[in-house]
Amino acid sequence: MGSLVTALASYCDIKQRGGSWHVRIDDIDPQRAGVGALEHISQALAAHGLLGDAPIRYQSQRLANYRTACQQLTALCYYCNCSRRSLQGLRLYPGNCRHKLTYAPDHTLRILADQQPRSFEDGCKGRHDFVATADFGDIIIWRRDGLVTYHLATAHDDALDYSHVLRGEDLFAMTAPQIFLMDKLNLKPPQYAHIPVLTYADGTKLSKQTHAPALNSATPVANLGRALWHLGQLAPPKGASVAQCLEWAVAHWQLDVVPTQLAPFREADYR
């Protein structure tokens, strides 16, 4: 349900602007992709009428693009073989490996943070100012196992493919590092908006790790109505179809009335 809430908000926001809505699957880490997960996502979106205006984009099919982006940044980077255990408890990377400029196996690639003040305007959270050296330090852009990091892949795709990105506020902290990478790649950031994520009453985010129940795609109209309720939006007319629910939701969408904290998820409400 939490994924539906965010997807529906994204759909309504861009459709009301007269734009095209796109679905991207961030599947760059094969170890985290569950069996059948991609099919389940596609089927659930289709059942709720949330069809993209272009074929679904898979990051796993764009690895060559990310390698090219990484090569553009190599002159600003260094290699690092510090273990997570050795860095435990540190908020920022201390720069132990900044002298390592030659490739070696089993090393990550880190980009040097700078002291340039930057800012972005979030559609929900307002202006955010940051300085790379103080806020996140030397981030990893390529992993030791040969995979691109979420930061670099997302920065590359967000800047090149989209004008607006609406996502959960659990990803808000990722935005500044990604905008930093866009700047280094001479790319223009999209406009961001981060909405609250759906949680249980104790504040725990709904996820596979917290054993959140799967969305029941057999009741799409009820699910859409409940998602709009969580988002503080007007309820669609009774008896509306999925298509009519979405048409209503887009026509009456108001980003500025989304609560700063969504009403908590209660499984009993969906039985």
State the SS3 of the chain. Answer: CHHHHHHHHHHHHHHHCCCCCCCEECCCCHHHCCCCHHHHHHHHHHHCCCCCCCCCEEHHHCHHHHHHHHHHHHHHEEEECCCCHHHCCCCCCCCCCCCCCCCCCCCEEEECCCCCEEEEEECCCEEEEEEHHHHCCCCEEECCCCCECHHHHHHHHHHHHCCEEEEEHHHHHHHHHHHHHHHHCCCCCCEEEEECCCECCCCCECCCCCCCCCCCCCCHHHHHHHHHHHCCCCCCCCCCCHHHHHHHHHHCCCHHHCCCCCCCCCHHHHC
Write down the pLDDT at residue 155.
Answer: 98
Q: What is the mean pLDDT of residues 64-82?
A: 97
Residues 6+ apart with CB under 8 A from 215: 1, 3, 4, 44, 223
Q: Note the pLDDT tens digit of each residue in 167-179.
A: 999 999 999 999 9
Q: What is the mean pLDDT of residues 158-172?
A: 96
**Domain spanning 62-161+171-192: which CATH class is it, in words?**
alpha beta
For residue 208, name the pLDDT band (cuts at 50, 70, 90).
confident
Percent of the chain with pLDDT over 90: 85
For residue 183, name the pLDDT band (cuts at 50, 70, 90).
very high
Average pLDDT, rounded, for the chain: 94
Residue 41 has pLDDT above 70, yes or no: yes
Q: Note the pLDDT tens digit of each residue in 254-266.
A: 999 999 999 898 8
For residue 23, name the pLDDT band (cuts at 50, 70, 90).
very high
Q: Note the pLDDT tens digit of each residue in 210-222.
A: 878 888 899 999 9
Write down the pLDDT at residue 162.
Answer: 96
Write down the pLDDT at residue 251.
Answer: 97
pTM over 0.85: yes
For residue 146, name the pLDDT band (cuts at 50, 70, 90).
very high
Polymer length in residues for the chain: 271
Write down the pLDDT at residue 137.
Answer: 98
